[in-house]
Structure 1
Amino acid sequence: MPSKDSLNCRRSLEISGQTYHYFSLPEASKSLGDISRLPLSLKVLLENLLRWEDGTTVQAEDCQAIADWLQRRCSDHEIGYRPARVLMQDFTGVPAIVDLAAMRDAMAKAGADPQRINPLTPVDLVIDHSVMVDRFADPSAFADNVAIEMQRNAERYAFLRWGQQAFANFRVVPPGTGICHQVNLEYLAQVVWTREEEGLTYAYPDTLVGTDSHTTMVNGLGVLGWGVGGIEAEAAMLGQPVSMLIPEVVGFRLTGQLREGVTATDLVLTVTQQLRKHGVVGKFVEFYGPGLDSLPLADRATIANMAPEYGATCGFFPVDQITLDYLRLSGRDEQRIALVEAYCKAQGLWRDATAPEPLFSEALRLELDSVQPSLAGPKRPQDRVSLPDIGGNFDLLLETSGRIRQAESAFPVAGEDFALKHGSVVIAAITSCTNTSNPSVLMAAGLVAKKAVERGLQRKPWVKSSLAPGSKVVTDYLDKAGLTPYLNSLGFNLVGYGCTTCIGNSGPLDEPIGQAIIDNDLIVSSVLSGNRNFEGRVHPMVKANWLASPPLVVAFALAGTTRIDMTQEPLGFDPQGQPVFLRDLWPSNAEVASAVSAVDGAMFRKQYADVFSGDAHWQSMPVSGGATYQWAADSTYVQNPPYFTEIGQPAREPTDILGARILALFGDSITTDHISPAGNIKASSPAGLYLQSLGVPPQDFNSYGSRRGNHEVMMRGTFANIRIKNEMLGGEEGGNTLLQPGGEKLSIYDAAMRYQTQGTPLVVIAGQEYGTGSSRDWAAKGTTLLGIKAVIAESYERIHRSNLIGMGVLALQFVEGQNRHSLGLSGRETLNIRGLSAHLEPHQQLTVEVLREDGTQSNFPVLCRIDTANEARFFMAGGILHFVLRELLAH
């Protein structure tokens, strides 16, 4: 703790004979001014600054700036924030550890000690994104999928095993344990963290950044954390502060309580729609009000987990008695629970219903009893649809897709006694994202299954069903409640503990199903209890994807179609021919509560007793030792990336970008899934052709996400999403472009390589909300490896903008009222970007000169979206990791 403690606020607490030292917010307020009504999330940031004040990265005026935030309830002051820890999952964690290994190589080649590249901040990596639903609806599905996962990912897992022993402060939670955000909620998070230093025990708020965007789930526990790109996470691991502006905080006041039959999923979809409509990108959201009294911790976690979907940095819930009850239920140590209560009360971080409510930049409100059963889709999580309207919504989708004339046709499936139609549900997945942290919705799913089986119903035969919980605790309590046999009977057998369908690891559809979809150009549906339903994400053949609560997932598996009003139409018929409606199967709140009472602390203590050891597969995996990694030239999973080849040379000063060509022209809401897909690798794509050239057959491609340790695959996969639309090709789907001049049609990768041989810099043009979705560092890494020097968009999602800067790509924004349409950009122009220099300032205005095919010229201004002085330093060094490496080599 390097604090100068210029405000003289260091104090101590004694709990059960143990003394804890801390930096007191009430004491600091004697110098800073009254902070009692500061949002609690900003109080956490203030404590962080008090503790890290060193006169350089954190100064006394930074602390004062947070106190002064109350005057305008916004700030343009930049701070350096240091989280207590870093959380990773394997899709983003593997490339992060690859980068650290590459940095060690660069240190060694420069004659420095490679072991200086080492996490200074504790890091936990949870392997949860690699299991696929290859086997389903079978008692052996879990064992089979685990075996396939271990075989497919042996190279990656061996690499992580090396990292586990090579790096200090680095722990790995092996596969088959759970998803990172649920393991974090149930075990890793402490709410109040402690650290020994110079013989003293310090207590401070548990904070983190994570390479999984759903790091935000833990905000439901009162732990401040959010997703960052792997690039930022690596810098934080290496001791660099996270550069950020003091955020605006939007208050979200909850009152009342949910009505009978309404789930936490219905609530979070309502919240997501409301916040996305309001606009909270780059802001904190903090929940408050009397409605919190009736909101269980699991419901809070469900809402916090969807912060990336409503666009906020985080959705924060304060610590209160419900927090303590959850810590006790999940098996946390009683001393820790006592510390959490005493510390939060001493610091003014405890939710007290009698105290004045905090003051916010803006405030929204929601009456909980107004929430209705809902889904979201067919391709964005903020597009909420009330349950009765889902059928009509799908018919509208058909009409806008030009398929209304064949909407009532049914297409037979070869060798089967059923037929597929538009709207048929081909995937029904209780998948481990938002909802599997929540016993109430999982028990409700089990109860719906029980009643369905008792009425003689079965899922429709064309539905691929799966259960992928986020924690082993889930299967324990479903077993204890006696609901597992009923879920199994409907085909919701355990398939794995991992992200599966929500991340695109839904596995293959049965071949006759897939062929019928292709042959008849069907728009079929998936229904999943996840967070995301972006185009091309869940499954390449499934164009309509709907987010729903676990009990509704079961109901749609029974119905087999999304062209239904479940409030009026039957899900099926019992053996006597009587219709069975959703209302006949839906459990009462009392039934759900009775089932939830089966959850107890012993389950958590048992499942997390030896969480880092792994099973026999993991323990028997060979590990090659050494401070530096022994790269295998023939590996198709892990390769030494080329980022640091020039690190021994001085950093190049930014200069104007001249003679640039437009690689792609995109519309609104281009997600990180569009830019860097996580799922299926198409055999005919550049990445697929590359793998086949190395002797890898298509059945062994695995996924883009699993190959993120290999830059050769990932740069070929950049902009390769099958649903992406480059406007240069008139709305055609797929990752292609037109090479200029001349207009030759090529894949974006092939065109970028052709431009590179010519020495031509590249630019991407886009609309609003560029880079929404996952905290995917490869969306920025792939961009830079293709030779793209700048992106010009109407607006950015927070994480992707930061990642672009962190990889040395210039993020530019059209000024208000201008865009690609108003400027008449077609993609055939040549661009010069003027105003770049060694004195580049945050939010500086630059000029883009446009040379058109007919020889005419024009120009337009753009805003440089380098937002902080630290980001400017990172950009000028070539990126954040280059900055860190150069600093280490210089000292």
Structure 2
Amino acid sequence: MGELSLADRATIANMSPEYGATMGFFPVDHVTLQYLKLTGRSDETVSMIEGYLRANKMFVDYNEPQQGAYSSFLRLDLAEVEPCISGPKRPHDRVPLKEMKADWHACLDNNVGFKGFAVPKEEQNKVAKFTFHGLPAELRHGSVVIAAITSCTNTSNPSVMLGAGLVAKKAYELGLEVKPWIKTSLAPGSGVVTKYLLRSGLQKYLNQQGFNLVGYDCTTCIGNSGELDESVASGISENDIIAAAVLSGNRNFEGRVHPLTRANYLASPPLVVAYALAGTVDIDFEKEPIGTGKSGKSIYFKDIWPSNDEIAQVVQSSVLPDMLKSTYEAITKGNLMWNQLSVPASTLYSWDPNSTYIHEPPYFKNMTVEPPGPHGVKDAYCLLNFGDSITTDHISPAGSIQKDSPAAKFLLERGVDKKDFNSYGSRRGNDEAMARGTFANIRIVNKLLKGEVGPKTIHVPTGEKLYVYDASMRYEAAGQDTIVLAGAEYGSGSSRDWAAKGPMLLVRALAH
């Protein structure tokens, strides 16, 4: 345990839902103290922390007998861990890199499900040709159209971020370039990353491969990649292409990353660059070349992959304590735009009834000191009938607002242009928008639709097919209760308050 860096520990702890835990916890040890010093904490502060934890028997010293009591133990030999990616529809569907090509073809063959797209054999080698800004281009099943170094999970980890820069550098020097129609982006978890990428000289190579800085925030992982180029979007839609996104995020549930990428794979930042260069997930990195170099020679994965020593050397020379200290000291100073915001003097928030971003929610009104307790459900109609693994992304998507959805209609009626719809995540302060976005995932499977996929349901009394929100409002207007049926793992995935609040506003009860 003591050999794991703090950045590695943070990545493992962050991914706890994917391995079936509520949280991941690492005890404080000498590695933790080293990180506190690296991030600018004074020797006095670090000494006080260590003393306090030792006195309370919460500090782990590997030179002393271990006192911890655990219900079970798992021994993992890190030497046996092999490179993997996860997908195409769930983060816990791990695929060893050496098996990726075979797994992809199995997904094309399999029935529609978490590991299947049911593409007929005769259509699996289909090629969609199109023109991208005057350049000839083509798409196939598995073509990468989004490649994003993005996440709160591992984009503050110097080894993988600088590793990605080294992959970009080696590829550029050999004459490989990312296809221009692949939407690439770089959204680190901290401003410190930009400082050490610039110091190392690797940022310019990421830029040359299209991985330009777009900000320090949730981006592609939560559906904020923005629109694909119109020619690419048309090529996917008109030819029914199973397009792929590869991202260094931690969630890839259906409909989350982008409406047009049905296959979404999670990978480390260096692997994101490698797949962007290859332009497809339909590749065996051990046997097939990524592309052709400037000398006309085939370039393989091993030719662009940095060694552990190369990464360690650039980390050692490029990540300096002053970078972290200066960055974190500036956080509390804000920025010009933030500091110029007009702040009301009142202690209570003044609700703007015309705001489409922040609206007074109904559950604050008439709130009692004591919870109201359970309520009865009688003669309820089934609003939705789900199978297993309905995640928080199915229940309350955070990404783009579809142009013909109830939420879109709501915004248009209030004078919001389509270009300003933003995302469900940005509208989460408005209950009227978010209620309309509940169960609005474009890949959600409702058994009442008998095989059709999407955010609609059957209004049982009339047999009409309606958007879920519209059906719910029709039931409510008639004074009829509704219930949602769901299988195992309902509500798993990302923490999202609207996955609880949205259904509360739409249905009487939920059974799973």
TM-score range, shorter chain: over 0.9
Q: Would the aligned equivalents of 1:737 and 1:751 in 2 still touch at CA under 8 Å?
A: yes
Which moved further from structure 2: 705-714 or 339-348?
339-348
1:397 maps to 107
Number of the residue aligned with 1:306? 15
1:336 matched residue in structure 2: 45
Q: 2:75 aligns with which of 337, 347, 365?
A: 365
Cα distance in 2 for partners of 1:576, 1:733 equals 48
Equivalent in the alignment of 1:323: 32
- Work out the CA distance in 1 between the residues paired with 2:337 and 2:490: 41
Q: Specify the alignment match of 1:700 in structure 2.
A: 420
State the match for 1:512 in structure 2. Answer: 231
Which letter does structure 2 place at the counterpart of 1:402? A
CA–CA distance in 1 between the matches of 2:159 and 2:265?
Answer: 20
Work out whether residues 433 and 529 of structure 1, in 8 Å CA contact, stay in contact via their aligned partners in 2: no
- 1:412 is matched with which residue? 129
Gaps of 5+ in 2: 111-116
Q: How does 1:643-654 map to 2 (within 5 A)?
A: 643-647=363-367, 652-654=372-374
Using the TM superposition, give the Cα deviation of residue 538 of structure 1 relative to its aligned residue in structure 2, in angstroms: 0.5
Q: Which amino acid aligns with 1:405?
A: E
Cα deviation for residue 649 of structure 1 reads: 9.3
CA contact (8 A) 1:432 1:497 kept: no
Count of matched residue pairs: 501
Inter-partner Cα distance in structure 1 for 2:459 and 2:126: 41
Tell me, yes or no, if structure 1 residue 719 matches structure 2 residue 439: yes
User: Following superposition of structure 1 onto structure 2, how do residues 37-436 of structure 1 map, counting pairs within 5 Å?
Assistant: 292-353=1-62, 354-356=64-66, 358-400=68-110, 401-403=117-119, 404-414=121-131, 415-436=134-155
> Amino acid of the residue matched to residue 781 of structure 1?
K
Corresponding residue to 1:783 among 498, 503, 507? 503
Aligned to 2:422, what secondary structure does the other structure show?
A: coil
1:755 aligned partner: 475
Q: Secondary structure at the match of 1:556?
A: helix
- The whole-number CA distance in structure 1 between the counterparts of 2:353 and 2:240 is 42
Q: Deviations over 1:634-688 (max 9, x none)?
A: 1111111111322369864534321222111001110111000100101111111
Deviations 1:610-645 (A, max 9, x none): 212322222222333312222222111111111132
SS at match of 2:73: strand
- Which position in structure 2 is the counterpart of 1:464? 183
Equivalent residue for 1:599?
Answer: 319
Q: Describe how 1:509-658 pairs up with structure 2 within 5 A.
A: 509-597=228-316, 598-647=318-367, 652-658=372-378
Residue in 2 that maps onto 1:161: none
Provide, for residues 350-379 of structure 1, a one-character-per-residue CA deviation record: whole Å limited to 9, x for no partner: 113331453322322211111111100001
Shift of residue 496 of structure 1?
0.7
Question: Are 2:151 and 2:250, in contact at CA under 8 Å, matched by a contact in 1?
Answer: no
Q: Secondary structure at the match of 2:331?
A: coil
How much does 1:295 deviate?
1.1
Moved more, 332-341 or 536-545: 332-341
Secondary structure of the structure 2 residue equivalent to 1:318: coil
Q: How far is the alpha carbon of 1:331 from its aligned partner? A: 1.1
Deviates more, 1:471-480 or 1:631-640: 631-640
The 8 Å contact of residues 567 and 582 in structure 1, kept in 2 or not, is answered as yes
Corresponding position: 1:670 with 2:390? yes
The question of 1:659 aligning with 2:368 is answered no
Residues 651, 430 of structure 1: alpha-carbon distance in 2 compared, 3 angstrom cutoff: closer
TM-score (norm 1): 0.55
Cα distance in 2 for partners of 1:647, 1:466 equals: 45
In structure 2, how many angstroms separate the alpha carbons of the residues matched to 1:576 and 1:591? 24
Greater strand proportion: 1
For the residues of structure 2 that align with 1:500 and 1:681, how far apart are their CA atoms? 15
Among the aligned pairs, what percent are the same residue?
54
Alignment match of 2:203 (pick from 453, 466, 484): 484
- Return the offset for 1:746: 1.2
Q: SS of 2:24's equivalent? A: strand
* Equivalent position amino acid for 1:514 in 2: A
Uncovered stretches (5+) of structure 1, i.e. residues with no partner:
1-291, 794-891
Alignment of 1:861-880 (within 5 A): none
TM-score normalised to the size of structure 2? 0.95
How far does the alpha carbon of each residue in 1:785-838 deviate from its partner, in whole angstroms, 9 at most, with x for none?
11x222111xxxxxxxxxxxxxxxxxxxxxxxxxxxxxxxxxxxxxxxxxxxxx
The verdict on how the C-alpha distance between 1:377 and 1:654 changes in structure 2, with shifts beyond 3 A counting, is closer
In structure 2, do the counterparts of structure 1 residues 650 and 486 end up closer, same or farther at CA, with 3 Å as the change threshold? Answer: closer
Q: Distance in 2 between matches of 1:515 and 1:357?
A: 61
Alpha-carbon distance in structure 2 between the residues aligned to 1:626 and 1:555: 53
Q: After TM superposition, give the deviation of residue 605 of structure 1 in Å.
A: 1.2
Given that 1:681 and 1:688 are in contact with CA atoms closer than 8 Å, whether structure 2 keeps it comes out as yes
- 1:447 paired residue number: 166
Bigger radius of gyration, 1 or 2?
Answer: 1
Deviations 1:37-69 (CA, angstroms, capped at 9, x unpaired): xxxxxxxxxxxxxxxxxxxxxxxxxxxxxxxxx
Q: In structure 2, what is the Cα distance between the partners aligned to 1:579 and 1:382?
A: 34
Taking the aligned partners of 1:733 and 1:656, their CA distance within structure 2 comes to 31
| 1:728 and 2:437 matched | no
Q: Distance in 2 between matches of 1:445 and 1:498?
A: 19
Residues 2 and 29, structure 2, Cα contact 8 Å, conserved in 1: no
Runs of 4+ aligned residues of structure 1 deviating over 4 Å after TM superposition are 648-653
* Partner-residue secondary structure (3-state), 1:654: coil
Would you say the 8 A contact 2:60–2:66 is kept in 1?
no
Backbone CA RMSD of aligned residues: 1.5
What per-residue deviation string (whole Å, max 9, x for no partner) do you get for residues 472-531 of structure 1? 000101111111111111111111111101111011111100010000011011110110
| Larger deviation, residues 514-523 vs 455-464 | 455-464
- Do the aligned partners of residues 650 and 394 (structure 1) sit closer, same or farther apart at CA in structure 2, a change above 3 Å counting? closer
Q: Which residue of 2 aligns with 1:836?
A: none
The superposition leaves residues 508-559 of structure 1 with CA deviations (integer Å, 9 ceiling, x where unpaired) of 1111000100000110111101101100000010000001111111111110
Say whether residues 1:746 and 2:466 are aligned partners.
yes
**CA distance in structure 1 between the partners assigned to 2:73 and 2:452 by the alignment:** 42
Question: In structure 2, what is the equivalent of residue 49 of structure 1?
Answer: none
Using the TM superposition, give the Cα deviation of residue 784 of structure 1 relative to its aligned residue in structure 2, in angstroms. 1.0
Shift of 1:419: 0.6
Q: d(CA) in 2 for partners of 1:446 and 1:750?
A: 48
Matching residue of 1:268: none
Partner amino acid, structure 2, of 1:505: N
> What is the identity, as a one-letter code, of the residue corresponding to 1:577?
G
Q: Partners in 2 of 1:615 and 1:319 — Cα distance?
A: 34
> 1:421 Cα shift?
0.7
Supply the distance in 1 between the matched residues of 2:369 and 2:29 (Cα, whole angstroms).
53
Distance 1:349 1:648, change over 3 A: closer
Measured in 2, the distance between the counterparts of 1:648 and 1:535 equals: 38
